[in-house]
Amino acid sequence: MTMTSAKGARAGFIWLASYPKSGNTWFRALLTAYEDSAGDVDINRLDGRHAARERLFERYLACDGSLLTTEETFIARRVIYLHLAQHETSGAPQKVHDANLPLANGQLLFPPEATAATIHVVRHPFDVAVSYAYHLGLAPDFDRCIDNMCNPDFRVDGLVFAQMPQVQSDWSSHALSWLAMPGRRLTLRYEDMLVDGAGALTRALRVMYPDAEPDPARVTRAVEATSFGKLKAQESATSFRERPPKSESFFRSGTSGDWRNHLTPAQCARLADALAPAMQRMGYGPDGSVGPWSDDAPAP
In the chain, what are the domain boundaries?
Answer: 3-124+155-242
Beta strands 13-18 and 93-96 are parallel
104 pLDDT exceeds 90?
no
Residues 6 or more apart whose CB falls under 8 angstroms from that of 299 comprise none
Contact 256, 190 (CB under 8 A): yes
Given a cut of 50, whether residue 5 has pLDDT beyond it is: no
Furthest-apart CA pair in the chain: how many Å? 51
As a whole number of angstroms, the distance between CA 240 and CA 43 comes to 7
Q: What is the three-class DSSP state of 289? A: coil
User: What's the rounded mean pLDDT across residues 118-140?
Assistant: 93
The mean-pLDDT minimum among 139-148, 150-159, 232-241, 257-266 falls in 232-241
Per-residue model confidence (pLDDT) at position 245: 60
Tell me how far CA of residue 202 lies from CA of 69, 178, 189, 215, in angstroms: 41, 20, 14, 8
Confidence of residue 6 (pLDDT cuts 50, 70, 90): very low
State mean pLDDT over 263-276.
98
Q: For the residues 141-148, what does the mean pLDDT come to?
A: 95
- CA–CA distance, 29 with 43 (Å, rounded to integer): 7
> With 70 as the cut, is the pLDDT of residue 241 above it?
no
Q: Is the pLDDT of residue 133 over 70?
A: yes
Q: What pLDDT does 161 receive? A: 56
pLDDT of residue 7 exceeding 70: no
- pLDDT digits 0-9 by tens, 26-77: 899 899 999 987 777 877 778 767 777 777 777 777 666 667 788 888 888 8
Closest to 227 measured CA to CA, from 80, 30, 91 = 30
Proportion of the chain above pLDDT 70, given as a percent? 84
pLDDT at residue number 31:
93
Task: Cis check for the bond before 140: say yes or no (omega within 30 of 0).
Answer: yes
Q: Which of 5-19, 125-139, 177-191, 232-246 shows the lowest per-residue confidence on average (mean pLDDT)?
A: 232-246
The closest of 217, 19, 207 to 100, measured between CA atoms, is 19
Architecture field, domain 3-124+155-242: 3-Layer(aba) Sandwich (3.40)
The side-by-side arrangement of strands in the sheet containing 13-18 is: 49-50, 93-96, 13-18, 115-122, 185-189
- Give the mean model confidence (pLDDT) for residues 276-293: 96
| pLDDT value of position 298 | 45
* Integer angstrom CA distances of residue 88 from 9, 91, 133, 300: 10, 8, 35, 22
Cβ of 246: how many Cβ atoms within 10 Å? 10
- On average, the pLDDT of the chain sits at 85
pLDDT mean over 132-142: 88
Q: What's residue 2's pLDDT? A: 41
Helix, strand, coil % (nearest 5) of the chain? 45, 10, 45
As beta bridge partners, residue 50 has 95
Q: Is 187 exposed, middle or buried (0-12, 13-18, 19+ CB in 10 A)?
A: buried
Q: Give me the pLDDT at residue 228, please.
A: 78
